[in-house]
A and B are shown apart, each in its own frame.
Chain A
Amino acid sequence: MALSDAREFLSQFAPLSGSTWDAKGRQLDREVSSPYGPATVRYDDRGVPHVSADDERAAYYAVGYVQASDRLFQMDLLRRVMRGELSAVFGDLAVDSDRFHRQMDFVRAAEVTWEAASDGPAAPASEAFADGVNAYRETAERPVEFELLDYEADPWTPVDSILAQKQISWGLTGRFVTLRRTAVADSFDRETANRLYPLPDASNHDAPILRRDDREPNPPGGATGSTTSADAATAGSGDAVDPELVSWLEAFEPPEGIGSNSWVVGGEYTASGNPVVANDPHLDLRVPPIWYEQHVVVDGERDVRGVTFPGVPFVVIGRNDTGAWGFTNTGYDVVDFYTYETRMDGREYRYGDEFREFETRTEVVPVADGDDVDVEVTKSVHGAVLSRGSDGKALSGTTGRVGVQWTGLSAARTVESIYDIGKSAGIDDVLDALRKFDEPTQNFVYADRDGRTLYYTTGQVPVRTTDGEVVTGTRVFDGSAREGEWEGFEPYSDVDWAAANVVPFEEQPHSIDPGYLATANQRIVDDPAYYLSEGYGPPFRGARIYERLDERAASDEPMTAAFLRDVQRDAVDRRLDHLGPVFEDARGEVSGDARRAVDAVLAWDGEMAVDRREPLVYAFWTRKLSEHVFERRFEDAGLDVGTPNDWVLGRLPADSDWFVPADDGDGESDADGDGDDPDRGVVAANALQDALDAIEEEGYATYGDYSTTALTHPFDRGFLNYPEYPTAGGETTVNNFRPESMRGSSWRQVVPVGDDAEPARAVLPGGNDGDPLSNHYADQLDDWAAGRYREFGLDIPDGVDVRFTGGDGE
Chain B
Amino acid sequence: MTDLASELGATLSNPRRVGLTALAAVVGVALASAHWLGLVVGGALVALPQRSLGRGLLAGFCFGGVVLSVFLVDLAAAGAAGGFLRFGLLRDVAIAMSLGLPTFGALARGLR
* Chain A interface residues (CB < 8 Å from chain B): 10-11, 13-18, 20-21, 23-24, 27, 718-719, 723, 771-775, 777-778
Q: Is the CB of A15 within 8 A of B88?
A: no
Set of chain A residues within 8 Å of B82, measured between Cβ atoms: 775
The 8 Å CB contact of B97, one of A10, A718, A771, is A10
- Extra inter-chain contacts (14) besides given A16-B29, A774-B79, CB under 8 Å: A10-B97, A13-B97, A15-B39, A17-B32, A17-B34, A17-B35, A21-B71, A21-B74, A21-B80, A24-B77, A719-B90, A719-B91, A773-B84, A775-B83
The 8 Å CB contact of B33, one of A17, A23, A772, is A17
The 8 Å CB contact of A17, one of B36, B75, B89, B91, is B36
B4 touches A (CB below 8 Å): no
The 8 Å CB contact of A23, one of B32, B35, B83, B94, is B83
The 8 Å CB contact of A16, one of B67, B77, B87, B90, is B67
Q: How many angstroms from the CA of A52 to the CA of B64 in the assembled complex?
A: 46
Which 3 A-B residue pairings sit nearest by Cβ, starting from the closest?
A: A14-B36, A773-B83, A23-B80
The distance from the CB of B104 to the nearest CB of chain A, in whole angstroms, is 12
Set of chain A residues within 8 Å of B112, measured between Cβ atoms: none
Q: Which residue among A11, A16, A778 has the maximum number of chain B CB atoms within 10 Å of its CB?
A: A16
B70 touches A (CB below 8 Å): yes
The distance from the CB of A4 to the nearest CB of chain B, in whole angstroms, is 14
The 8 Å CB contact of A14, one of B39, B77, B80, is B39
The 8 Å CB contact of B75, one of A771, A773, A778, is A773
Decide yes or no: A16 and B33 within 8 Å by CB, A10-B97, A777-B83 being known contacts.
yes
Q: How many angstroms from the CA of A14 to the CA of B41 in the assembled complex?
A: 14
Instruction: Sample 30 A-B pairs with CB under 8 A, ordered by A number.
Output: A10-B36, A10-B97, A11-B36, A14-B32, A14-B39, A14-B97, A15-B32, A15-B71, A15-B94, A15-B98, A16-B32, A16-B39, A16-B67, A17-B32, A17-B33, A17-B35, A21-B74, A23-B80, A718-B88, A719-B88, A719-B89, A771-B83, A772-B83, A773-B75, A773-B80, A774-B80, A775-B80, A775-B82, A775-B83, A778-B86
Q: How many angstroms from the CA of A24 to the CA of B70 in the assembled complex?
A: 14
The distance from the CB of B90 to the nearest CB of chain A, in whole angstroms, is 4
Set of chain A residues within 8 Å of B36, measured between Cβ atoms: 10-11, 14, 17-18
Set of chain A residues within 8 Å of B35, measured between Cβ atoms: 11, 17
Decide yes or no: A15 and B89 within 8 Å by CB, A23-B75, A23-B78, A773-B80 being known contacts.
no
B68 touches A (CB below 8 Å): yes
Interface size counted on chain B using CB atoms at 8 A: 33
Q: Mark B16-32, 1 if CB is under 8 A from A, else 0.
A: 00000000000001001
Set of chain A residues within 8 Å of B91, measured between Cβ atoms: 719
Q: Mark B53-97, 1 if CB is under 8 A from A, else 0.
A: 000000000000001101100110111101110111111011101
Q: Is the CB of B97 within 8 A of A15?
A: yes
B49 touches A (CB below 8 Å): no
B43 touches A (CB below 8 Å): no
Set of chain A residues within 8 Å of B78, measured between Cβ atoms: 23-24, 27, 773
Q: Is the CB of B90 within 8 A of A13?
A: yes
B105 touches A (CB below 8 Å): no
Q: Is the CB of A13 within 8 A of B89?
A: no
Decide yes or no: A16 and B83 within 8 Å by CB, A23-B78, A24-B77, A773-B78 being known contacts.
no
Q: Is the CB of B90 within 8 A of A718?
A: yes
Set of chain A residues within 8 Å of B89, measured between Cβ atoms: 718-719
Set of chain B residues within 8 Å of A21, measured between Cβ atoms: 71, 74-75, 80, 84, 94
Set of chain A residues within 8 Å of B29, measured between Cβ atoms: 16
The distance from the CB of A208 to the nearest CB of chain B, in whole angstroms, is 45
Set of chain A residues within 8 Å of B86, measured between Cβ atoms: 719, 723, 772, 777-778
Set of chain B residues within 8 Å of A17, measured between Cβ atoms: 32-36, 38
Decide yes or no: A16 and B75 within 8 Å by CB, A23-B80, A718-B90, A719-B88 being known contacts.
no
The distance from the CB of B52 to the nearest CB of chain A, in whole angstroms, is 27
Q: How many angstroms from the CA of A11 to the CA of B34 in the assembled complex?
A: 10
The distance from the CB of B67 to the nearest CB of chain A, in whole angstroms, is 6
The distance from the CB of A355 to the nearest CB of chain B, in whole angstroms, is 61
The distance from the CB of B84 to the nearest CB of chain A, in whole angstroms, is 6
Q: How many angstroms from the CA of A773 to the CA of B97 in the assembled complex?
A: 19
Set of chain B residues within 8 Å of A27, measured between Cβ atoms: 78-79
Set of chain B residues within 8 Å of A20, measured between Cβ atoms: 90
Q: Is the CB of A16 within 8 A of B74?
A: yes
Q: How many angstroms from the CA of A24 to the CA of B35 in the assembled complex?
A: 17
Q: How many angstroms from the CA of A18 to the CA of B77 in the assembled complex?
A: 17
Decide yes or no: A15 and B68 within 8 Å by CB, A719-B90, A775-B83 being known contacts.
yes
Set of chain B residues within 8 Å of A11, measured between Cβ atoms: 35-36
Nearest CB in chain B to that of A722: its residue: B86
Q: Which residue among A15, A21, A772, A775 has the maximum number of chain B CB atoms within 10 Å of its CB?
A: A15
